[in-house]
Amino acid sequence: MRVEIWSDIACPWCYVGKARFEKALAAFPHRDGVEVVHRSFELDPGRAKDDVQPVLTMLTAKYGMSEAQAQAGEDNLGAQAAAEGLDYRTRGRDHGSTFDMHRLLHLAKERGRHGALLDALYRGNFADARSVFNDDERLVELAVGAGLDEEEARAVLADPDAYADEVRADEREAAQLGATGVPFFVLDRAYGVSGAQPAEVFTQALTQAWGERTPLKLIDDGSDAGACGPDGCEVPRG
């Protein structure tokens, strides 16, 4: 069974939701039969790379709330993250474009280091003091720490077209599936779960999707058709 997760590094609920999903998956009896694929989604796709601002400033402008309300929301998110064992800085974080991070994540997927880099970027954004926005050196540092080659990471960041098509393809697919926000979980292209649901909801979704998998139906006309297998190929006998 395949579970696809659309998420963004700038999304705090994606950070929390990933932990909740992984808690459910760890306890799932068939976890070894579940393939997890992370896909790109930008909450702010038109944002320029150098357009970086404090999170509270972004929240007050985008949602029309007061700074006190925005800070209360951050404090609540910090508590939710802590409940999942995650570090979360409720003061001093900033917000910016995540496009380069998603491009690096596609490189990491090709190199088998996607999970390590995704975790590193989440920690970098939500837990560490140094910003991950508009700072190529910081992104290279995180990429190398996740097991990527430094020169490859630098080459991707230096070329704005590198893996850009892959990021956009993920985002188009999310739109086709009806995702308007993240995190968005799709189980075997049969079930969707939106938001950072409690682990119990993910457990229910995994159980239901696993139980309703449709076994492959073979079409056999009864003829003795040739085939190859682990022990070799059938030899025609005349």
What is residue 224's predicted lDDT score, i.e. its pLDDT? 62
Q: Is the pLDDT of residue 73 over 70?
A: yes
Task: Please give the Cα distance from 192 to 188 (Å, whole number).
Answer: 9
What is residue 237's predicted lDDT score, i.e. its pLDDT? 58
What is residue 193's predicted lDDT score, i.e. its pLDDT? 97
What is residue 225's predicted lDDT score, i.e. its pLDDT? 63
Q: Is the pLDDT of residue 65 over 60?
A: yes
Give the pLDDT confidence of 199-217 residue by residue, as tens digits: 999 999 999 999 988 665 6
In the chain, the N- to C-terminal Cα span, in Å, equals: 43
More reliable by pLDDT, 227 or 129: 129
What is residue 133's predicted lDDT score, i.e. its pLDDT? 98
Determine if the peptide bond prior to 54 is cis (ω within 30°). Answer: no
DSSP state of 129: S
DSSP state of 68: H
Give the pLDDT confidence of 5-14 residue by residue, as tens digits: 999 999 999 9
pTM score, whole prediction: 0.90
Q: Among candidates 112, 100, 113, 117, which has minimal Cα distance to 161?
A: 100
Give the pLDDT confidence of 139-178 residue by residue, as tens digits: 999 999 999 999 999 999 999 999 999 999 999 999 999 9
What is residue 213's predicted lDDT score, i.e. its pLDDT? 83
What is residue 234's predicted lDDT score, i.e. its pLDDT? 62
Label residues 4-32 b or e (16+ Cβ within 10 Å = b): bbbbbbbbbbbbbbbbbbebbbeebeeee
Answer whether 134's CB lies under 8 Å from 50's CB: yes
Check the CA dihedral 39-43-47-52 and report its sign.
Answer: negative
DSSP letter string, 14-67: HHHHHHHHHHHHHT-TTGGG-EEEEEE--SSTT--TT--EEHHHHHHHHH---H
pLDDT averaged over every residue in the chain: 93
Predicted confidence band of residue 123 (pLDDT cuts 50, 70, 90): very high
* Type and span of the H or E element at 236: none
Q: Is the pLDDT of residue 64 over 90?
A: yes
* Cβ-proximal residues to 66 (8 Å cutoff; 6+ apart), any chain: 60
